[in-house]
Every structure is written in structure tokens, then in C-alpha cells.
Amino acid sequence: MDNLTPEQRRKNMQAIKSTATTQEVRLAKALWESGYRYRKNNKKIFGKPDLTFAKYKIAIFIDSEFFHGKDWETQQLRIKSNRDYWIPKIERNMKRDVEVNAFLIAKKWKVIRFWSKEVQKELDTCVAKIREEIESSKIKTEEKKS
């Protein structure tokens, strides 16, 4: 049973952003301050990654733990209200994530996914991982040219 009225629940759900979430903005700003330029939510790239480096074919997603099913086997048991809606929805999200990854990898993209809490708690580690991928891609690009 939901402990909020339908109107309160509707307002809560409307407040949840799908783009420019706090953690996406934090990661984007950290990358920008490090001198990296990217595209946000590029609709031309399948799956509309949160950040893309098209030159290096790197797609970055920052996933919410709830909506993308982190630790799903245990977390789904915690959903008490509206289970008939949330469980299929989150499982569809998880399936879509797998499909997006497979498609991009087949197109020779490097896919990097972070949980939002990972960005929140370990921002420097996330930036370092992206930096590594960019530098690795730069080397591969230069090797192809020579």
C-alpha cells in the first residue's frame, strides 16, 4: 500500500529527471574541467547515451540504481507497492540496457556504465576510467594513421 496520495505520488514521479540528473551533471562538469569535450544525450547515437565522445566512439551512461535494477534479485523484494507496474518496468529497462550495449559494441563503440552512487561517491575514479579509455582510443587512432 502506498503511503502517499495519488496526487503526491504523481508530483514525486514528475520530479524525477531522465536527463541532466545531479550525478550526470557532476561527471560532465568534472570531465569539462579536465579539458574533455563531449556531447550530452546525443540522439544520433542508439540508446541516447548521457555523454558521448564520438571521435573515440565512447558512450557513457549513468544509471539510477532503482530504475536500472542494481542488485535486482534482492532489491525487487523491497518493492512493496504497485509491484505489477514496477517489476516489469525495471526488467524492461534492464533488458533495454543489454540491447543498447550489444548494439553499440557491435558498432565498435566502447560502452561505459556507472551507477549514480558510484559517480556520487567515487567521482575521481569514474573520471580516471573515462580518461583511460580516451587515451587508449587516441593511441589506437594514431596507430591506424601510421
Which pLDDT does position 139 carry in this prediction? Answer: 83
List of long-range contacts for 76-82, beta carbons under 8 Å, 24+ apart? 80/1, 81/1, 81/2, 82/2
Q: Please check the confidence at residue 75 and state whether its pLDDT lies above 80.
A: yes
Tell me the pLDDT tens digit for each residue of 90-124: 999 999 999 999 999 999 999 999 999 999 999 99
Tell me the pLDDT tens digit for each residue of 26-37: 999 999 999 999
16, 85, 18: which is closest to 47 by C-alpha? 18
For residue 74, what pLDDT band results from cuts at 50, 70 and 90?
very high
Which pLDDT does position 146 carry in this prediction? Answer: 67
Which pLDDT does position 81 carry in this prediction? Answer: 84
Q: Please check the confidence at residue 8 and state whether its pLDDT lies above 90.
A: no
Which pLDDT does position 140 carry in this prediction? Answer: 78
What is the average pLDDT across 3-20?
73
Q: Please check the confidence at residue 127 and state whether its pLDDT lies above 70.
A: yes
